């Protein structure tokens, strides 16, 4: 028996969503920082705070559900999957190739349904290169995520975590007073 075709309304909305994501993909390849920020803020409706930087080749899912604080640096080739919402604090520093994935499928569910729980990243967090942060995680203020760590549970404030899965491996000073204002016009 042939499955029923999707309703036209659903197919059109999926096409439009795909077109928006493709447009965001193309914008991410433009090596002019101010142009990318303008498009992310005004076309794709990402809330991006003052003096924040989004390096090039960032891949977005549901960009309208992503909020980036002030003085934050998102490194090159990041994947920001905002399907359930991502909130990133002020003065957060991402290394390159960081993945933040705010949704997955329940493979025990009979309908393989989605599990969508927001991700929150506190102020002055440092996220190392190629780290992955999964659905529902809250990362406390001042925490450090080591390179290539897989974060699948909450991270306490000022903790240093690393490994797969990430575990606490140290503690960071609580005396943090910096503001990140790094940005190059062509990056």
43-55 burial code (b ≥16 CB/10 A, e <16):
ebebbbeebbbbb
In angstroms, the Cα distances linking 41 to 9, 135, 161 are: 27, 24, 32
SS (H, E, C) the chain: CCCCCCCHHHHHHHHHHHHHHHHHHHHCCCCCHHHHHHHHHHCCCCEECCCCEECCCCEEECHHHEEECCCCEECCCCEEECCCCEEECCCCEECCCCEEECCEECCCCCCCCEECCCEEECCCCEECCCCEECCCCEECCCCEECCCCEECCCECCCEEEECCCCEEEEECCCCCCCCCCCCCCCC
**Is residue 104 annotated as a catalytic residue, yes or no?**
yes
The residue from 33, 51, 104, 183 that is catalytic is: 104
Token pair listed for 125: 């967090």
Among all residues, which ones are annotated catalytic?
Answer: 104
């Amino acid at each position: 028996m042939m499955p029923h075709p999707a309703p036209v309304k659903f197919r059109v909305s999926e096409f439009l969503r795909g077109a928006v994501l493709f447009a965001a993909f193309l914008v991410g390849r433009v090596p002019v920082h101010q142009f990318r920020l303008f498009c992310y803020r005004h076309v794709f409706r990402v809330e991006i705070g003052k003096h924040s930087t989004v390096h090039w080749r960032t891949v977005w899912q549901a960009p309208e559900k992503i909020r980036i604080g002030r003085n934050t640096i998102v490194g090159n080739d990041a994947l920001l999957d905002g399907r359930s919402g991502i909130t990133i604090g002020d003065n957060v520093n991402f290394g390159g190739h960081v993945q933040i994935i705010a949704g997955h499928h329940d493979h025990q569910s009979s309908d393989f349904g989605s599990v969508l729980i927001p991700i929150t990243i506190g102020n002055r967090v440092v996220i190392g290169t190629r780290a992955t942060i999964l659905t529902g995680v809250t990362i406390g203020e001042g925490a450090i995520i080591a390179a290539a760590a897989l974060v699948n549970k909450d991270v306490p404030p000022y903790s240093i975590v690393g490994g797969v899965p990430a575990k606490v491996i140290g503690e960071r000073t609580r005396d943090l007073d910096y503001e990140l204002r790094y940005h190059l016009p062509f990056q």
